[in-house]
Amino acid sequence: MPTIAIIGYSGSGKTTISEWIANYLDMPCIDTDVKVLEHLGMSSVQSAWDEEGEARYREAEAEIIPDLLQEDAVVSLPGVFPMSESVKDALKNVPMVINCIADEETTLARIAKCENRPRLHADDLQVRSERLETYDSLATHELESSGDLASAIPRIQALLTDLDSNRD
């Protein structure tokens, strides 16, 4: 099974959706945040930002994500990857890139529940809006992920059926 990349803004459900897809397809699931933290020897994104700085965290993402995208796995990317040309270039070789799209209300509610991540600021909603275009341009598929993620399961199954039919 080829690599499947999951992209979208913070709070769009990427991690949960990646885990569901990996389980459904019996594939490994790679959360790039976890791999970056391992690479930096840190326990949380917030602690990495506090101790290493956001710039170093972003450098680590750009260093390791292109290699992760070559694994036969479901790979959940960080919401800020559009800032990295190396990651964008690597994504062009991934056969299935699913863009998770959640509305602003859902995004804010999900991020507010996350204790180990930097908080979303009001001006970040403008950044979100700007990044949506980049996510859209890199995606091979879109997945509406607002509200209860369980309601996305039928849409996920339809996407995976599409992947299977295109491989035959």
Q: For 41-79, write each residue's pLDDT tens digit.
A: 999 888 898 999 988 998 999 999 999 999 999 999 988
In a domain, 66, yes or no: yes
Kindly report the backbone phi and psi dihedral angles of residue 71, in degrees, each rounded to the nearest multiple of 5, phi listed first. Answer: -80, 150
Other CB atoms within 10 Å distance of the CB of residue 149: 18
In a domain, 86, yes or no: yes
Residue 164, pLDDT > 70, answer no
Which amino acid makes up residue 3?
T
In a domain, 167, yes or no: no
Q: How many domains does the chain have?
A: 1
Model pLDDT, residue 73: 97
In a domain, 115, yes or no: yes
Buried b (16+ CB within 10 A) or exposed e, 52-79: eeeeebbebbbebbbebbeeebbbbbbb
In a domain, 165, yes or no: no
pTM listed for this prediction: 0.85
In a domain, 166, yes or no: no
In a domain, 44, yes or no: yes
Range of the domain at 78: 4-157
> Which is nearest to 118 in space by CA: 60, 79, 86?
79
pLDDT above 90 covers a percentage of the chain that reads: 45
Model pLDDT, residue 69: 96
Output the domain CATH number for residue 9: 3.40.50.300
Direct distance between the N- and C-terminal alpha carbons of the chain, in angstroms, rounded to an integer? 12
Which is more confidently placed, 139 or 148? 139
In a domain, 168, yes or no: no
Q: For residue range 115-127, list pLDDT tens digits in order.
A: 655 555 545 667 7
